[in-house]
């Protein structure tokens, strides 16, 4: 495994996104835990989750609890694993997503995540999605307070535009360590945010880097250049996609979602795939 940095913490260059293990279409718990253990075996030391990764109204934090269970049951050393979670996005239980960026709510959500993860301080806590009914600086101010109070060790934001990134870093007093935005061959509109993070030395964490749960398996057929480069290397188009992202900036750390051991092992192997300048130009 190769490594990159989030703030002052060294993490694997490929992370694991936990969402597919807890929302619609999720597998049984045993397979999910096997997938998390396979990621750890492959050298993955960064796992991303959120309190909103669940199905039913009465199981908020399902994914956080699942990850805590998997880490506790792993036979090896997990002291170097960074678990990142998020607050501010909610699922009422009817399949919809809502938002709450109120500072008091975010602080309560953080306290609940602390308990589910079973830690004294959350390694990386991220504001999940801007709330149009709350001033952005007020929401990020809650993360500042959580940092100052020692409830979280690092602060990040998600689904943010360049202006919000600059504002968040200012509110946090230069302590913004990560931005988690959607980015993939299908969804490239976050390129400005990626470039801004590169200039500022902030980790950029692409979510749904393979195109999303329902589209990841079709990446090669949907984006022919990735399939062509994959065939030349004898690897999967998904591996090529992740290697392409890694080549964009030393601050990019993709977090492909997975619920199967074989897919996370394939994703983790992307760190060893070196693409030529010509191949990178072909992929765009």
Verify whether residue 125 is a known catalytic residue. Answer: no
Which residues on adjacent β-strands are paired with residue 12?
A: 3
Strand 89-90 to strand 98-99: parallel, antiparallel, or no bridges (unpaired)? antiparallel
Q: Tokens 């969402």 correspond to what residue? A: 19
Question: DSSP string of 49-73?
Answer: --TT--SSGGGTTHHHHHHHHHHHH
CA-nearest of 8, 19, 11 to 208 is: 19
Contact indicator for 36, 277 with CB cutoff of 8 Å: no
Contacts 24+ apart (CB under 8 A), 55-63: 55/22, 55/23, 55/24, 55/26, 55/91, 55/93, 56/93, 57/91, 57/92, 57/93, 58/93, 60/90, 60/91, 60/112, 61/112, 61/113, 61/116, 62/22, 63/18, 63/19, 63/21, 63/22
Q: What are phi and psi of 124, to 5 degrees?
A: -145, 120
Using CA atoms, how far apart are residues 62 and 44, in angstroms rounded to an integer?
21
Catalytic residue, chosen from 53, 105, 125, 136, is 53
Contacts 24+ apart (CB under 8 A), 279-283: 279/229, 279/232, 280/244, 280/247, 282/225, 282/228, 282/229, 283/185, 283/225, 283/226, 283/229, 283/240, 283/244
Residues annotated as part of the active site: 53
């Amino acid at each position: 495994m190769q490594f990159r940095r989030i703030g002052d913490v060294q993490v694997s260059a490929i992370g694991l996104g936990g969402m597919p293990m807890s929302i619609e279409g999720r597998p049984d718990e045993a397979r999910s835990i096997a997938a998390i253990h396979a990621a750890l075996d492959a050298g993955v030391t960064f796992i991303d989750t959120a309190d909103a990764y669940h199905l039913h109204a009465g199981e908020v934090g399902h994914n956080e609890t699942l990850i805590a269970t998997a880490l506790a049951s792993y036979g090896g050393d997990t002291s170097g694993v960074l678990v990142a979670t998020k607050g501010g996005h909610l699922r009422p239980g009817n399949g919809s997503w809502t938002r709450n960026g109120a500072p008091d709510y975010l602080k309560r959500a953080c306290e609940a995540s602390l308990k589910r993860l079973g830690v004294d301080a959350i390694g990386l806590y991220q504001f999940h999605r801007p709330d149009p009914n709350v001033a952005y600086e007020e929401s990020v101010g809650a993360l500042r307070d959580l940092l100052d109070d020692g409830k979280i060790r690092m602060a990040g934001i998600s689904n943010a535009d360049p202006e919000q990134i600059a504002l968040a870093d200012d509110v946090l007093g230069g302590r913004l360590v990560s931005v988690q935005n959607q980015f993939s061959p299908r969804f490239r509109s976050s390129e400005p945010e990626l470039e801004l993070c590169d200039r500022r030395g902030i980790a950029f964490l692409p979510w749904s880097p393979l195109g999303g749960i329902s589209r990841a398996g079709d990446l090669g057929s949907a984006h022919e250049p990735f399939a062509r480069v994959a065939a030349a290397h004898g690897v999967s188009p998904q591996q090529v996609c992740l290697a392409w992202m890694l080549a964009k900036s030393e601050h990019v750390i993709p977090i492909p979602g997975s619920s199967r051991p074989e897919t996370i092992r394939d994703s983790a192997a992307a760190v060893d795939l070196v693409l030529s300048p010509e191949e990178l130009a072909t992929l765009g």
